[in-house]
Structure 1
Amino acid sequence: MRHALALVFALTTAPAFAADLAVGSRVDAVTVYPDGATVTRILDFEAPAGDTTLVASDFPVGLDPASIRLDASAAPGVSVAGVDARQVFPEQPAPDAGLDRQVQDLKDRRAGVEGEIAALLVKQGFIERIAKSAVIGGGKGPDDKPFDPAALRAAWNTVGDDLKDVNEALRQAGLRARAIDEDIARATARSDGRPQGQQRMELRIALGAGEAVHGRIAVSYRIDDAGWTPLYDARLDSTKGALELVRRARITQSTGEDWTDVALTVSTARATAGASVPKLETKLVTLYQPPIAVGEAAPPPADAMAPMPRKAMRPAAPAAATPLPKPGREQEAKLDTGGFQSSWTLPARTSIASGPATKALRLASTTIAPDIVARTAPALQATAYLEARFDHAEDTPLFPGPVSVYRDGLYAGQADMPLATRGEPIRLGFGADDRIKVDRVVTRKLETDSGLIRSTRSDRRDFKISLRNGRPTPIKVSVEEALPVSEIADVKVEMSPQTTPPTTKNADDRRGIMVWTYDLPAGGTQEIKFGYKVSWPGDLDVELD
């Protein structure tokens, strides 16, 4: 009895050894950055009391092991001792004896057909040699006596029939060989296409529990081969003077894992950027020391320097007795601008497969009342282009990316969104407006050469620019011209006194760029005079065009 009690006591007090428990995981949430992603997987498990090691072998190999973090808040009474990650190599598929036997049988049949073809070729050669010897012999037999014509004709017909039969047999054998080759190729493809094991990452999570528990652990990690780039839609209603700007995110991921039915967040934070400013080293100016030439020395390599809205205008609601139903529209993400980054959480779960394809998702939109102006540079093209200007009014910057522009419901082309922070001006073009007529003519072009001791040459040019607004509504029109700029002391540039005073000089910090801006009423016209004179010593060669 004492021995039995001692055995029971030993069993109840012996330490519990950790047992491996295979578990599966599923992707539950993803945060995508411009240069990577953070993925959160969920592990559901049922563990007995004591120590257990959860083994999950379905993690992608591209994850950063140093970024693995666990959240065991949904596993009450469980203590996590640690987590190990290791790469698991795929197992080779088991051989398919039936498929291998089929390939070998086909190869044996192919060898038999090759032997048949070889025999037919020998027979074909023998018949051709017999016919050739008869022709070379001048129609005489081996005893130098002439062949009987009837017998010779019969023999010739026999040779021809035999050669025809041999050629047909060769053709048929070639067809059988080709068919066998195709069967071998298909069987080999099936053998090569057998499922191959996929290289994965295995996580081993050591945990302990005072009693049997049903729990859940969230595992998050950072992974490369994923990211997003900004896209925009800009829809201008030139009649109402309203611009709808839509933000989109084009997401790509080739992580090796499909994100199926996940909670997706798009963040502007950079996952792989450094946390501190790069350290700038001291730059010294030294005297150049020419290399000591031994024979023909190569030149020293050059140093490579690494470059390192106003209030929204909304149309008035219709004064109908029964309110109209709201039109369908895309769902938008919830914006969070906390801290030094912005993130959008998509309102519904989504799926993004791993691969070369991309997925574009709508993040947000805003309606702006921009300044609409028709801009033209008639020296280059006598066409006016509609442009919408507005000040960026959101805390989240506008990041560089392509913009699909629409004017009055029609697609007008592609533009580029510049990087803009809050308060910076944005200008987007919306295509040519043929209702605004632009004309530019040369009114004077005069070249002179004067002076006796030292000649002086000059070139004077005058232009007239005519504008007409053929739109049914007023529009602001802006005209750009370039006044030559001289960087040579002896070359002088003078603006013609008849020039219409410009609204802006050196526009946008572009030297010599003159801008005239007018508010043209419907049907209104405007005339601009512009000219200049360039003079220089006669012994200099100056180019103006």
Structure 2
Amino acid sequence: MKAGTAVRWGSTLDSVVVYAQGALCLRLARGTVPADGRVLVTGLPRSIDPGSLRARVLGAPGVRVTEARVEVEAEPVGEGLPDELRRETERLREAYARAEARRNRQSGLIAEVAKLHPISPGRKREDPHRRTPVDAWLELADFVDERLAGLHARLAELEQAVREAEHALEVAYDREARASTDAPQAHVETTVGALLTLDGTAEGEVEVEVEYGVPGAVWVPTYRLTHRQGDGSGRLVLRASVAQRTGEDWTGVRLALATADLRRRTDLPRLRSVRIGRRQAAPAPSGWREPPAGLAELFSGFDAAGPSPASGAAAAGLPRAVGLPVAVGGAAPGGAAPRPVPPPPPSPQGFGEPVGGFPVPGAAYGAPMPAAMMPAPSQPSGPQPPGGRPAAKARTRGRAESSADGMERAEGAAPPAPVPVTGPPQPSGAELDYAALVLSGPEEPGGRRGRLFPDAAFDPVAAEHRRRAETVAALPLPGHAVRPRVSAGSFDHRFDAAARADIPSDGTWHTVTVGEIPVGLRTEYLSVPSVEPTVYATLVLSNATDQALLAGPVEVTVDDDFLLTTALPTLAPGGVRRVGLGPAEGIRVTRRTQLRESTSGLRNTTTVLDTRVHVELANALARPVTVEVRERVPVTTEPDVRIEERADWTTPQTDTGPDRHAPGTRVWRLDLPAGATAALEGGYEIRIPTGKALVGGNRRS
């Protein structure tokens, strides 16, 4: 099916779903169904994945799509934006070369002038001394100084011109590199369309939806958090940094972001039954038939005629002749004996000999076919060599020769026959795509002639477009950004943008607002004075939605003042996490410890280490705050070591709350009014046998 007679429908890009790497694009086209039902939907990018093309008819139950495939066309184009950018870059490159040449000539002139100096004439021994012309020497020195001053001034101007030309050239290079790949890159524009076959009739126009996948699109989540102190909620705006180089500009599209892998397998696994008893033959694959009988004899006349003069001249390196007579079905012109047909080349790696036009998967390299599936050999009808056998089928006889050391070696012996491949052929999906199969001609090797094979023509232009598109995966990530596939874990999520977006195909990051997510917020202050005498402000986020919040950078704004940009951890639905905001300068904390060592027991067999902890807090803020002070208590696994606590602190739960606590963590929580102070007292006793001591000494905090 060719696109020459198909009716062309223009299309509009309507929506794009960006995955972890790659995207699914959806285009809409409208038109009247022609009589033959063939329609070419134009506007597809060059980097399209041909195997991802899908099409369906919307709003017309009587019309359906029976076939869809990618069609590539080329046509010359006029001067466009890429040509202008290339011409401008070439002009600036030439200007930079001229400026550099002028600078180099000026440097060479300065070097020549600097070499000017007076040279005294040679004097013989018997010649009297001459008077030195000091005035001439001074005039030459003044001339050189004056000349060098002017040349150096001009050299400074030329160096400045070189720097300006180099800067302009770098800007042009960057502009050309960042130009959208949606425009043609050469004087020949390659257009891609979806060639559809519609079946059915409908009154008026119908709308067709074309979906296809493209590489070269990535995204990472970013956030903006707005919070007012004293308020129990906040506004968390989900944004996305999207970069794409798919070859088409996304203008006014409905954008969706997904964390799934676009290239993952989607076919269901097939569980075969295990049978005990007689072996049952595997069913033949659907859509495959045995090759027709007599296929080998179909090309006997072609083999008898020998190679055509055109192919013989091409093989000999001679110019190809046009219009020479070729005999078909008889002897070659001039009575020349036909040349034997060359043997077919070996099969590619991983496939055996073709069976009915399909390779047999799993066969070893060069393995023969089963005898039942072997095609009948073609019998040439030309003259036979002496002995009544074709030359190609002359039997090879082995003979043994004795070497100098008495060893014997066999020459011409046939190699051991490999194990034949059994079972019916198992063609792949590409081999069952009848519209993409190509009938092999008589010039093909004997195992392929007259059979259907997939058209494996390699498109280097499309491969180059896809390679360039996939370079966006190597873009450096923004600060605190995490790949969505990494932060999503074992689950996949999708986020739909609230408004349409524009993202050019330039391979750079563009920020798009996705939507607002309601989150619960509360401000807490946290201090670990045993590690650092500082109080830190934190925001405790709770996700009450049914969507996860992926890890990424978040811009925190408190009371309409930008505070900082920090990293937001992955927050599952219903999860609670803490986000640090930095030190709180308005709250001070001090800690003092006191250790007393004593003995107890009837014979003083137990050493008692009594540790007292004193913590003071002062709130200098104009509002009340909630402060959580964390302390640590020693833990032990020794049966003869006891630890007794003497404080009103609490033991946090390690499996609940926004944090994970280490064993031995103790927590004080208190509310401090504005301008108030508070003191916390705590401690613990460590009882160990007198003969033992703590590692590092007993008297330590």
State if a TM-score over 0.5 links the two structures: yes
1:315-362: CA deviation from partner (whole Å, max 9, x where unpaired): xxxxxxxxxxxxxxxxxxxxxxxxx96644434322122332230414
Take 2:685 and 2:249, find their aligned partners in 1: how far apart are those partners?
65
Alignment partner of 2:611 out of 444, 461, 468: 461
Q: 2:233 aligned with 1:83, yes or no?
A: no
* 1:71 counterpart letter in structure 2: R
Offset at 1:488? 5.7
Query: 1:528 aligns to what?
Result: 681
Offset at 1:404? 3.2
Take 2:164 and 2:535, find their aligned partners in 1: how far apart are those partners?
67
Query: 1:220 aligns to what?
Result: 211
Offset at 1:423? 3.3
1:204-243: CA deviation from partner (whole Å, max 9, x where unpaired): 433457999976543322234334333334444333x422
Query: 2:232 aligns to what?
Result: 242
Query: 2:54 aligns to what?
Result: 69
Query: 2:511 aligns to what?
Result: 359
Q: Is the Cα contact below 8 Å between 2:184 and 2:190 reproduced in 1?
A: no
What SS does the corresponding residue of 1:484 show, helix, strand or coil?
A: coil
Report 1:89-100 matches (<5 A): none
Q: Is the Cα contact below 8 Å between 1:476 and 1:519 reproduced in 2?
A: yes
Report 1:124-523 matches (<5 A): 131-134=118-121, 136-137=122-123, 144=127, 149=131, 197-198=184-185, 202-207=191-196, 217-239=208-230, 241-256=231-246, 257-267=248-258, 269-272=260-263, 343-354=494-505, 355-366=507-518, 368=520, 373-389=524-540, 391-429=542-580, 432-433=583-584, 436-442=587-593, 444-446=594-596, 459-467=609-617, 475-487=625-637, 492=641, 494-496=643-645, 499-504=646-651, 507=654, 508-519=660-671, 523=676
What SS does the corresponding residue of 2:51 show, helix, strand or coil?
A: helix
Q: 1:197 to 1:227 in 2, by over 3 A?
A: closer
Take 2:562 and 2:574, find their aligned partners in 1: how far apart are those partners?
28
CA RMSD, Structure 1 to Structure 2 (Å): 5.8
Offset at 1:470? 6.2
Q: Is the Cα contact below 8 Å between 2:518 and 2:545 reproduced in 1?
A: no
Offset at 1:394? 1.8
Q: 1:231 to 1:51 in 2, by over 3 A?
A: closer
Q: 2:21 aligned with 1:31, yes or no?
A: no
Take 2:669 and 2:149, find their aligned partners in 1: how far apart are those partners?
88
Instruction: Give ranges in structure 1 of 5+ residues lacking alignment.
Output: 1-14, 279-339
Q: 1:342 to 1:85 in 2, by over 3 A?
A: same
Q: Is the Cα contact below 8 Å between 1:253 and 1:356 reproduced in 2?
A: yes
The 10-residue stretch of structure 1 (530-539 or 184-193) with the greater mean CA deviation from structure 2: 184-193
* 1:262 counterpart letter in structure 2: V
* 2:195 counterpart letter in structure 1: A
Take 1:265 and 1:197, find their aligned partners in 2: how far apart are those partners?
27
Q: Is the Cα contact below 8 Å between 2:519 and 2:542 reproduced in 1?
A: no
What SS does the corresponding residue of 1:19 show, helix, strand or coil?
A: coil
Offset at 1:440? 2.0
Q: 1:413 to 1:535 in 2, by over 3 A?
A: farther
1:258-278: CA deviation from partner (whole Å, max 9, x where unpaired): 211112233455534566999
1:96-145: CA deviation from partner (whole Å, max 9, x where unpaired): 9xx99x979x99xx79x98xx89x96x998x86xx5351x42xx6x9946
Q: 1:85 to 1:207 in 2, by over 3 A?
A: closer
What SS does the corresponding residue of 2:509 show, helix, strand or coil?
A: strand
* 1:263 counterpart letter in structure 2: R
Q: 1:540 to 1:65 in 2, by over 3 A?
A: farther
* 2:54 counterpart letter in structure 1: R
Query: 1:328 aligns to what?
Result: none
Take 2:538 and 2:161, find their aligned partners in 1: how far apart are those partners?
68
Offset at 1:28? 2.3
The 10-residue stretch of structure 1 (462-471 or 180-189) with the greater mean CA deviation from structure 2: 180-189
What SS does the corresponding residue of 1:66 show, helix, strand or coil?
A: helix
Q: How many pairs were matched up? A: 446
Offset at 1:53? 6.4
* 2:5 counterpart letter in structure 1: A
Take 2:673 and 2:160, find their aligned partners in 1: how far apart are those partners?
80
Offset at 1:29? 1.3
Q: Is the Cα contact below 8 Å between 1:437 and 1:468 reproduced in 2?
A: yes
Q: Is the Cα contact below 8 Å between 2:57 and 2:63 reproduced in 1?
A: no
Q: Is the Cα contact below 8 Å between 2:41 and 2:196 reproduced in 1?
A: no
Offset at 1:482? 0.5
Q: 1:476 to 1:277 in 2, by over 3 A?
A: farther
* 1:358 counterpart letter in structure 2: H
Take 1:231 and 1:380, find their aligned partners in 2: how far apart are those partners?
32
Q: 1:20 to 1:383 in 2, by over 3 A?
A: same
Q: Is the Cα contact below 8 Å between 1:28 and 1:263 reproduced in 2?
A: yes
Take 1:371 and 1:155, find their aligned partners in 2: how far apart are those partners?
91
Take 1:166 and 1:470, find their aligned partners in 2: how far apart are those partners?
73
Take 1:170 and 1:386, find their aligned partners in 2: how far apart are those partners?
64
Q: 1:79 to 1:460 in 2, by over 3 A?
A: closer
Take 2:250 and 2:642, find their aligned partners in 1: how far apart are those partners?
65
Q: 1:363 to 1:528 in 2, by over 3 A?
A: same
Take 1:191 and 1:404, find their aligned partners in 2: how far apart are those partners?
34
The 10-residue stretch of structure 1 (173-182 or 205-214) with the greater mean CA deviation from structure 2: 173-182
Query: 2:27 aligns to what?
Result: 41
Q: 1:176 to 1:494 in 2, by over 3 A?
A: closer
Q: 1:395 to 1:175 in 2, by over 3 A?
A: closer
Offset at 1:445? 2.3
Take 1:511 and 1:348, find their aligned partners in 2: how far apart are those partners?
48
What SS does the corresponding residue of 1:356 show, helix, strand or coil?
A: coil
Q: Answer 1 or 2: which has greater strand percent.
A: 1
Q: Is the Cα contact below 8 Å between 1:407 and 1:430 reproduced in 2?
A: no
Take 2:586 and 2:155, find their aligned partners in 1: how far apart are those partners?
73
Offset at 1:483? 0.6
Take 1:173 and 1:521, find their aligned partners in 2: how far apart are those partners?
73
What SS does the corresponding residue of 2:119 show, helix, strand or coil?
A: helix
The 10-residue stretch of structure 1 (455-464 or 419-428) with the greater mean CA deviation from structure 2: 455-464
Take 1:84 and 1:387, find their aligned partners in 2: how far apart are those partners?
55
